[in-house]
Structure 1
Amino acid sequence: MADIMDILLSTTRLVTTTQLNHQEATTVVLHQELSSPAHDVWAACTEPGRIQEWFLPISGDLAIGGHYSLEGNASGEVLECNPGRSFRVSWVMGAGPDSELVFTVTPTNTDHALVELRHTATVDPDLMGTYGPGAVGVGWDATLLGLYQYLRGIPTGPSNPLPTHAMQSFFEASSDAWATAAIAHGAEADGARAAAVRTTAFYTGTDSSGAS
């Protein structure tokens, strides 16, 4: 449990506004330093055989211009790749909004690396008001937790779920952290905190808002 909270506390979160396909979009940004060399982090996030060990099975062509699919999750196109350093992909979930993901890994010394994850999406204002940036950000916190555990040799993935009480605490803390990031970006504090409660309920399966 300590490791879970440690990675939450050591992750930096930002919320920014930008343009995507000539529309106003919201970007959530996560920075996390991992105690693994950059080449190992890169391999864990780009080699299909390793991705499925901590995230999801992936299929398709991972070269620039190729299309990929994560089983039961997102699909998209590989838009850019700087081998060993960064990639940019489109990120499509069902009939969801336009979305892009940029992943960057930077060595900080021989055995540590800084990961930056940027997810930009055009989001319906009502949906943003209901859940805030945590609707996306909490999922990426969970993803970085899986990567962190995998690189440390801790069993992870769907076949090795964390205890329910630990995930409850994780989702609450992550949602609250994203509320803080939203407030720093200019969101009204009470509304951001209320959105965090709804985001926690969504991730824990207790959401009764009827949102899909």
Structure 2
Amino acid sequence: MRAFGVHWNRQLRKREAMIDIQRELAEAHRQVTADPGGTVSVVITREYRAGQAGVWNALTDPERLRRWFLPISGDLRVGGSFQLEGNAGGEIRRCERPELLEVTYGGPTSVVRVRLRATGEERTELVLEHTVPVELAGSPAGSLYVGPGWDGAFLTLGQYFAGTLPEDPFAAAATLEGQEFSKRSVQLWVAAATGTATLEEIAAAAEAALGQYAPDLS
């Protein structure tokens, strides 16, 4: 299940870089779906105060991507493969500038699809859908292992556009502030997953997710 997640291994964060946790989490909408075909999907949607071209470039330009997410290497074209430093790799399936990016992520059956839509002048909606077979997720409750990681990525992307990205954005999650963000994120993903899996499955996944993302608060 680790390939289904976005892993934050962080260190320290400066006090002056504090975030409004409630506001940042409220910026995104979360959904968990499980279809009869045997797949589980997490969908996270957020609107950014940036033009569509700018958001596209932040997602696809290696120098910009490393600033708010992770360094990337590989054959970065359709049909080519990529590797995120210390994280997952995969194949680039579709790249339709500036609207659609689809890649495998950590395995051939783990698929991430990103769609962009201009919603106004210098405003863009980003929808990310991460889909895996239910066998890989364990159950729809497995969405709790990946959802908080994508929340963290959406947070740092927003900080990138707002000009508030800390010098070391990958230091955020190990601080108490970062872990509090992740703890509340897990709670929101519990709400999103409720009804797709048993209460026992969701409770077990929530405990595991808190241990991963907020070990000092769980």
Question: TM-score normalised to the size of structure 1?
Answer: 0.83
Aligned residue pair count: 200
Query: Does 1:145 pair with 2:155?
Result: yes
Which residue is 1:174 aligned to? 185
Query: Does 1:29 pair with 2:40?
Result: no
Which residue is 2:61 aligned to? 47
Secondary structure (helix, strand or coil) at the match of 1:133 reads helix
Matching of residues 101-180 of structure 1 within 5 Å: 101-124=112-135, 127-128=138-139, 132-156=142-166, 158=168, 161-162=171-172, 164-180=175-191
Secondary structure (helix, strand or coil) at the match of 1:92 reads coil
Q: Tell me: CA distance 1:144–1:111, structure 2 relative to 1, closer, same or farther (3 Å).
A: same
Cα distance in structure 2, aligned partners of 1:157 and 1:100: 31
**What per-residue deviation string (whole Å, max 9, x for no partner) do you get for residues 117-143 of structure 1?**
0000124478447x6311011111111
Query: By how many angstroms is 1:192 displaced?
Result: 2.4
Query: By how many angstroms is 1:205 displaced?
Result: 3.8
Q: More relative contact order in 1 or in 2 (CA 8 Å, sep 6+)?
A: 2
Cα distance in structure 1, aligned partners of 2:20 and 2:216: 25
Unaligned stretches of 5+ residues in structure 2: 1-17
Cα distance in structure 2, aligned partners of 1:80 and 1:151: 25
Secondary structure (helix, strand or coil) at the match of 1:132 reads helix
Contact 1:176 1:193 in 2 (8 A): no
Cα distance in structure 1, aligned partners of 2:65 and 2:98: 15
Query: By how many angstroms is 1:154 displaced?
Result: 1.6
Unaligned stretches of 5+ residues in structure 1: none
Contact 1:133 1:178 in 2 (8 A): yes
Secondary structure (helix, strand or coil) at the match of 1:89 reads strand
Matching of residues 60-71 of structure 1 within 5 Å: 60-71=74-85
Q: Percent identity?
A: 34
Secondary structure (helix, strand or coil) at the match of 1:149 reads helix
